[in-house]
Amino acid sequence: MSGVQVQPIPLWRQLQSVAAVLMAVRSGASGTAALVEVSAELRPGVQALVFHVLRSLGRAQALRQLLAKRAPPPAVDALLCTALALVWSEVDAPYDAFTLVNQTVEASKKDRATNSQSSFLNACLRRFLREREALVAATDADPVARWNHPRWWIDRLRKEWPMQWQEILLTNNRQAPMSLRVNARRSAPLRYLQTLTAAGVSAVACGPCGVTLERARAVQQLPGFTDGVVSVQDAAAQLAAPLLLSGLHSQEPLHVLDACAAPGGKTAHLLEIADCDLTALDVDPLRCQRIQETLQRLGLQAKVLTGDAADPPAWWDGTLFDAILLDAPCSASGIVRRHPDVRWLRRESDIAQLALIQARLLKALWPLLKPQGRLLYCTCSVFRSEGEDQIQTFLAHNTQATLLASPGHLMPRDRANGESVPDNPGGDHDGFYYALLEKRAP
């Protein structure tokens, strides 16, 4: 008796879901949340296509404006921009151009929200195929089309990083690597690399405590993942725990606070490399549950509290901390290659509002630190107002604070990019900012 044959998922079904996710992002929802609504059987393929679309959305929208001066209804526009984002580059297109066009038209016919516009979609896309070279050339002068970021974002990077802005934008449009942090209580990077080699998985060392896979794979396929040997964490994020704890010595376990701790990656890293009396704090109870799940898988323990880090009286017991990690809420402008929706969700006004939140957190947490204690401020942002400017302002108003040696701004970069930038270590990592502050005795 022959086994049951699994029928391949038709592309038109995936394109319908991709367009639905794009509509959700355009309405303000995160891509992650929108993808959760996609059926499990479609989700892996849809996610890959969604990421491709979001990384080419600026170009697709510029092309759509040439093909249809008046914007079609939202569902039709989302499907048309989805197709244009996937087909515009002959080099990077995931499918043959005529297949994409045919399947887009099929997707429109099978959806009541778009079936009356099938002929319009077909006409636009076939015109694009006929006039591809001229249409693409006509959009090259548009910086949003060329760099696939909002205009304000491009202008801000050009002003703040005049020598590196193009490299940052190019990196943002590439796929991020999958890096792992090796649990120091269970293994070591070289030993885990040997385990991966034995399992037929290619990888290279990544900093002092991690490895980077040659090709991303499901965590369930990673040797030792379920047993807590490794965790997924970018190389830049792996700098936080050792930077905060290096040089801190105590007869007793260090009293440490991880503020804004969810989902718990940095919390776990702190516990992996030192014996700590650690409090992990987050304002969201559901995200606190994720911290607990992370610690349980790794066999680690911490006091997990739900509370607002900017309001210590609501959760603090009055005991001063030896070390505080403040991974502050930010624009996430340094992790756009992992979350390509972020660039389209953020507004320029968000940056100033986030900077105010960061300043309020710094002001609230600083009094909780012992003399000679350390606070590590970090954000996954490349914008100066969330990094260097924030810390310089804090230092100007806090004479007890000293800035110790720390990386400063790390630009997102990959192996394909050119020269390194100031303060940027070698490797393939996200964009971050780090400032290590020490509290002088009064």
Residue 286 CA from chain centroid, whole number? 20
Determine the 3-state secondary structure of 129 from DSSP. helix
Which DSSP helix (H) or strand (E) runs through 434? Answer: strand 432-439
Angle, helix 74-87 to helix 118-130, in steps of 10 degrees: 30
395 CB contacts (<8 Å, ≥6 apart)? 401, 403, 437
Q: How far is 168 from 166, CA to CA, in rounded Å?
A: 5
Active site annotation includes 380: yes
Strands 178-182 and 230-232: what pairing? antiparallel
- Backbone phi, then psi, for 52, in 5-degree steps? -60, -45
Catalytic position from the list 209, 288, 330, 380: 380
Helix residue ranges, H only, 188-328: 189-198, 240-245, 265-273, 285-298
195 CB contacts (<8 Å, ≥6 apart)? 187, 223, 224
The secondary structure of residue 149, as a DSSP letter, is S
Question: Hey, which residues are catalytic here?
Answer: 380
